[in-house]
């Protein structure tokens, strides 16, 4: 057996006196095409934030490719988010004063990637998500659904090994949800792993495994 893609070891999440989960253990192997479901407040979003290195667990540790995120410096965690994981969360975190293209290019500026190749990659992603006409538009002019697709495209810009997504088609109509799923399938062919939080039946039908997080238990 090789090194797991993601490993949760005795993971705990507490808010004050409230324990959301504790002693959570799970292993995700490569390839991983998995959804996490569960009631509101069960810790699903916090869990993928922990895998992204955006949130620290109350106890336990997360390992990605055998390396504990707890041992990483802030700079190393930044590299982890630039090169290993892409994140597309419910709050899109796009910069509304910049254009769609400028938002997509931001990960490349931080990672030092080739900008010409980056523009080609941005063009390909926007074509797949029907955003080409908005590439030079200020983000403040985009609808919620367009911003959601933009956030997903930006998360894929650096060709991450893992995409962590929280309800990535939550604001989309059926046609655009289909575009997202088709893009993810194409990215899977080049080795992308997916860990997604969703309640959407359409997206659940496209994954290999569904896990439920409820009452502190992942099953």
Has residue 39 been placed in a domain? yes
The 10s digit of each residue's pLDDT in 148-174 is 999 999 999 999 999 999 999 988 999
CA distance 11 to 188: 28
CA distance 196 to 60: 22
Has residue 1 been placed in a domain? no
CA distance 119 to 70: 34
Half-sphere exposure of 156 (CA within 13 A, CB side): 29
Has residue 140 been placed in a domain? yes
Q: Give the model's confidence band at 1: pLDDT under 50 very low, under 70 low, under 90 confident, else very high.
A: low
Has residue 88 been placed in a domain? yes
The percentage of residues in the chain with a pLDDT greater than 70, rounded to a whole number, is 98
* pLDDT of the residue at 106: 84
Has residue 122 been placed in a domain? yes
* pLDDT of the residue at 110: 67
Q: What is the mean pLDDT of residues 19-35?
A: 96
Residues 6+ apart with CB under 8 A from 171: 144, 145, 148
Q: Residues 77, 9, 89, 189: is their CA dihedral positive or negative? A: positive
Angle between helices 115-128 and 144-156 (to 10 degrees): 140
Has residue 203 been placed in a domain? yes
The 10s digit of each residue's pLDDT in 87-133 is 998 777 888 889 999 988 887 876 667 788 889 999 999 999 999 99
Residue numbers of the domain that contains 40: 6-218
* pLDDT of the residue at 139: 92
CA distance 32 to 54: 21
CATH code for the domain of 28: 3.40.50.300
If one counts the domains in the chain, the total is 1
Has residue 119 been placed in a domain? yes
> Rounded to two decimals, what is the model's pTM?
0.94
């Amino acid at each position: 057996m090789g090194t797991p893609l993601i490993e949760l070891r005795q993971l705990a999440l507490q808010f004050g006196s409230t324990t959301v989960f504790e002693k959570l253990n799970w292993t995700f192997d490569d390839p991983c095409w998995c959804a996490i479901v569960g009631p509101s407040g069960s810790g699903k979003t916090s869990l993928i934030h922990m895998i992204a290195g955006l949130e620290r667990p109350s106890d336990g540790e997360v390992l990605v490719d055998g390396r504990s995120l707890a041992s990483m410096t802030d700079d190393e965690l930044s590299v982890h988010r630039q090169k290993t994981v892409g994140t597309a969360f419910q709050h899109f975190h796009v910069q509304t004063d910049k254009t769609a293209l400028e938002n997509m290019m931001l990960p490349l500026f931080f990672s030092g990637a080739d900008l010409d190749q980056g523009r080609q990659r941005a063009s390909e992603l926007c074509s797949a998500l029907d955003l080409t006409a908005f590439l030079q538009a200020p983000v403040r002019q985009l609808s919620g659904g367009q911003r959601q697709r933009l956030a997903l495209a930006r998360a894929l810009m650096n060709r991450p090994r893992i995409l962590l997504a929280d309800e990535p088609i939550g604001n989309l109509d059926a046609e655009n949800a289909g575009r997202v799923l088709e893009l993810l399938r194409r990215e899977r062919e080049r080795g992308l792993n997916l860990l997604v939080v969703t309640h959407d039946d359409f997206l659940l039908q496209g994954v290999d495994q569904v896990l439920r997080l409820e009452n502190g238990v992942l099953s």
